[in-house]
Amino acid sequence: MSADFLYLASQSPRRRQLLAQIGVRHELLLPGADEDAEALEAVTDGESPDDYVRRVTAAKLDAALQRRARRGLPSAPVLCSDTTVALGDRILGKPDDAAHASAMLASLSGREHRVLTAVAVGLPDGRVLSALNVSQVRFAAIGDERLRAYVASGEPMGKAGAYAIQSQAAAWIEHIAGSYSGIMGLPLFETAELLREAGFPV
């Protein structure tokens, strides 16, 4: 493969940081003002968390590939990823407001949940490589005062499940089984495997 970089179709600074951590050169390929990126994340009735996160990632990749072609950008792999939090079969996406964030966090308090992150790489030859990482996270009981302070900080907004593992919410996590980077938003083991399969130097 001739490209020595890839396009990252994500606004997440954490995904940029994680790609840089494993030495992957990348350029951002973000939606324009004419694209409704949030609409891709709408949940379909009866959809399982696994199916949901795979579908959203595939939809994001399709939109990004069309965006690259429309903008006439040089050919290179395009990477997309999506993360969701699941409490049983219930999908906890990004909170709508502070009250929604508080309710989400209260539902996670003292319980175990799953964090699912799907990754997809679209190659210049039309192939799509994909993987799914699932991690288990157990929260200790979160006191009302700490919960209110965390929501007031604004950190939950824009985060699946209303928290970020690299924030002060880490103090509530009793146990993790899985991938720390996956919980952050980009599972590096699976991502590196996909890129190597694509012939990318990782």
| DSSP string covering 147-165 | HHHHHHTTTTTTSGGG--T
CA-CA distance, 31 to 163, in Å (whole number)? 24
By CB atoms closer than 10 A (0-12, 13-18, 19+), residue 53 is: buried
CA-CA distance, 45 to 24, in Å (whole number)? 37
CA-CA distance, 61 to 67, in Å (whole number)? 10
What does the angle CA 93 – CA 96 – CA 98 come to, to the nearest 5 degrees? 110
Q: Is 45 noted as a catalytic residue in this protein?
A: no
Q: Which of 4, 51, 62, 82 is catalytic?
A: 82
Answer for the pair 34, 112: CB distance below 8 angstroms, yes or no: no
By CB atoms closer than 10 A (0-12, 13-18, 19+), residue 46 is: exposed
Catalytic residue list: 82
